[in-house]
Structure 1
Amino acid sequence: MRVHRPYGPVLVMGEVLFDKFESGKRLGGAPFNYAFHLHKMGIPVHFISRVGDDAEGREILEFARNHGFPTEGIQIDPHHPTGEVTVNSDSSNGHRFEILPDRAYDFIEVDVYLQKRFRDDIPFTYFGTLIQRNGKSRETLHEIQKKLGWKSTFLLDINLRAPFYDRDVIENSLKNCDILKANRHELQEIKRLLDIDKTVAELPRFLAERFKLGLVCVTNGSKASVIYETGNREPFYCTPDDSMEFVDSVGAGDGFSSMLSLGYMASWPLQTVLERSCVFATGLCGLEGALPGDDKLYQPYRLVR
C-alpha cells in the first residue's frame, strides 16, 4: 500500500448529476458529493468530470462557483446531456435508482487540465465503478491510474449500481486501489462475481491479501461499520448513534468516505477515523439530500489550508 499523508490535493474522477426525486431534483453523484465534503472541510480538490452544454450543466457550474468549488476539471460536452438519475423510494432497500445512459460524464477526456495534474504531487485519488460503464471515461480513469498509481494512494468507493458493472470492472478496480470502501451488500456481490469461496465475514481479509490492499472498510447501515487493516489482526468497529433524527440516507456513504479520507490524510488513529466517519454520515442522515444547506456540519472537522 502506498502511504501518502499530506492534506491533499485529492484528485476525484467521476460523475456529477441531478437526482430526480418525486419532490424535485437535487445535485448529486457520489464522486461530487465526496469532493464537495472534502472541499468544505478545507482539503484542496481536483474534480474531474463532465457536464452537458445545457441548462442543468450550467446550473451545476453555477452552484459549484457559488461555493468556491473548483470547476477547472469539469469538461463541457457539446453532444451529450448532463447526468440524471431517477430516484424512487423502496421500502426494502431505501431507494431505487434509474441511472440514465449516455450522459456527459460517460465521455470524460484526458484534457489539458488533467494532463497538468499528472505532473503534480497528488497524494490521494478517489474513484468508483459507475464512471467505468462507458469505454471513454474508463480509458481516462486507466490513464489516471497509470500516471498516478506509483505516487498516490487510491481509494475505491465501489458504489455498485446495477447493471453498470461486471467482473472485469470490479477485478480491475480492486487491482488499482489501496483502500476499499464497500457496504455489506456490495461485498456479497463481489463474492458472487469473482466466484470467491469465502464467507462475507472472511471476505475483507481475503480481498486485502489477494489485491494487496492496506485498508478495507465495510459499512452496514445502522449496524456496526468495520475497518480491517492489513497487518493488524484486530479490526476496528463502530455502531452509529441510533438516537439521531433520521430524514434520509441519500449520500451518507459519500460523507462516510470523505471523513475516512480526511482521517487517513490527517493520520488519526483508525478507531478515531471510523468513529468520526460514522458520526458525520449519521449527521447527513438527519438532513434532506446529500449536501448540507449550510456549513455547520463541517465546522468540527475543517482543516486550515
Structure 2
Amino acid sequence: MNQLRLPAPGPVVCIGETMAALAPAPDGSLETAESLRLSVAGAESNVAMYLADLDVPASWRSAVGDDALGRRVLAAVGAAGVDVSGVHRDPERPTGLMVKEPAGSGTRVHYYRGGSAASAMGPDVLDGDTVRSAAVVHLTGVTAALSPSCRSLVTRALTPPPGGRRPTVSFDVNHRAALWRPGTAAQVLHDLANRADITFVGLDEAQDLWGADLATDDVRKLLPHPRLLVVKDGGRGATAFSEDGSWTVRALRTEVVEAVGAGDAFAAGFLAGLLRDGDVPRALRLGHITAGSALAVTADRGPLPDAATIRRLLAMTPGEWEVLAAEGLPPAGPGGHGTT
C-alpha cells in the first residue's frame, strides 16, 4: 500500500520566524564587500512559498517587527501567493536578521535574532480558525530553539487537544546548532520529532544529534511514532517509513550552487504530493524535484519545472525515474516558478 490519507482538506499553515538576510556576492567576502544583497530567509516561509508554487493553499503565521525589514519580509512572502494576514507586527521588537558568509566549504550563517519579534511568539499563535481548519500545520526545530515561549508553541501544537480535532502536524528537525545551548538540542528535538504525525530529518542531522553510526533504518527505531517518517540522505535519496512499510526514492543528480533551503523545498514538495493523492513514492519524487530547484540557485527558492514537466516526471515508471536520477534535470527556464 503506497497511500496515506490526511484529514479533511484545508490549507497548510506554516509557523516560524522569517528574517531579513544579507549576503555578499557568491564569490565575495563579508570583510571586503562594499555592498550586500538583501533578501528574506526562513525555513517555514520557504515551505509556504514552495507550497503556493505547487498550487497548495498556504498560510504563514509569525511575527515581524513593525519596521522596514518586517515590511520587506511580509511583502516578499505575500507576493509568492502565501496568506500572511495572520502575521503579527510587533511595535517593540525588531525583525530578525541573518548574514550569509560564503566560504570555501559552503555558506556560513550568522544569526541576529535574540529578542526578535518572532522569538516572543507563544502558544496563542495556534488560536483561531486558520490553524484549527488546517489540513497540516508545519513546524521546525528552529522555532523550538528560539525561546521558551516558542518551544511551548511547538509543544502545544504536538499535543492532541482533549476531545478536539488536531490538524496533522508536520515537523522538520532542521537542527541549527548555533541556536542551541550546548548539550540541549538532542533530547528536545528527539522528543518533538517523535510526537509529530509527519517528521522530516536528514540522516546527517540524525547522526550529529543521536549517534554517528546511525543508518536510515536505525532512525526509524529511534522515532517509531510518526505516521510518516522521512529520512533524507543528501544527494543519494530519501526513505519514507510508515506502518505499512517503507519506500526509497533516489534523488535527482543536481549541480549544487548552494544547499541552503533545499530541505525546506523537499518538505514542501513532499507535503504537496501527499495532499494531492496520498501516494508516498510520488510525494518523495515531488520532494526531490522541488529540492533541486533550491539547490540550483543562491537564493533559498528557485524556479520549478513547468506543470507539464512535473506531471510527466511523476508519471514515470520506477525504471525511468532511475535513469533520470542519474542524468539529472535540465535547468528550469527563466519564466518564474512552475505550478501543478
The two structures have a TM-score, normalised by structure 1, of 0.84
- Does the C-alpha gap of structure 1 residues 115 and 201 become closer, same or farther in structure 2, counting only changes over 3 Å? closer
Once the two structures are TM-superposed, the CA of residue 298 in structure 1 deviates from its matched residue by 6.5
**SS at structure 1 position matched to 2:127:** helix
CA RMSD of aligned residues (A): 2.7
Contact 1:51 1:76 in 2 (8 A): yes
Comparing 46-55 with 172-181, greater Cα deviation is found at 172-181
Which residue does 1:185 correspond to in 2?
A: 204
Q: Percent identity?
A: 21
Distance 2:143 2:131 in 1: 23
Q: Which of these residues, 94, 106, 119, is aligned with residue 106 of structure 1?
A: 119
- Does the C-alpha gap of structure 1 residues 183 and 110 become closer, same or farther in structure 2, counting only changes over 3 Å? closer
Once the two structures are TM-superposed, the CA of residue 80 in structure 1 deviates from its matched residue by 1.9
Contact 1:73 1:114 in 2 (8 A): no
Distance 1:90 1:239 in 2: 29
Q: Which of these residues, 95, 104, 110, is aligned with residue 107 of structure 2?
A: 95
Which residue does 1:32 correspond to in 2?
A: 45
**SS at structure 2 position matched to 1:250:** coil
Once the two structures are TM-superposed, the CA of residue 106 in structure 1 deviates from its matched residue by 0.6
**SS at structure 1 position matched to 2:14:** strand
Once the two structures are TM-superposed, the CA of residue 16 in structure 1 deviates from its matched residue by 0.9
Encode CA deviations 1:184-233: one digit per residue, 9 max, x unaligned. Answer: 221113314xxx9x733332220342xx112221222222222222331x
Which structure 2 residues correspond to residues 123-272 of structure 1 after superposition, within 5 A?
123-133=135-145, 134-146=147-159, 150-165=165-180, 166-192=185-211, 199-209=214-224, 212-232=225-245, 235-242=246-253, 244-272=254-282
Comparing 114-123 with 68-77, greater Cα deviation is found at 114-123
Question: Rg larger in 1 or in 2?
Answer: 2
Contact 2:13 2:134 in 1 (8 A): yes
Q: Which of these residues, 42, 59, 78, is aligned with residue 72 of structure 2?
A: 59
What is the one-letter code of the residue matched to 1:187?
A
Distance 1:99 1:206 in 2: 33
Q: Which of these residues, 90, 97, 102, is aligned with residue 84 of structure 1?
A: 97
Encode CA deviations 1:164-191: one digit per residue, 9 max, x unaligned. Answer: 2424421331243011111122111331
Contact 2:265 2:290 in 1 (8 A): yes
Higher RCO (CA-CA < 8 Å; seq separation 6+): 1
**SS at structure 2 position matched to 1:99:** strand
- Does the C-alpha gap of structure 1 residues 89 and 273 become closer, same or farther in structure 2, counting only changes over 3 Å? same
Structure 1 residues without counterparts, runs of 5 or longer: none
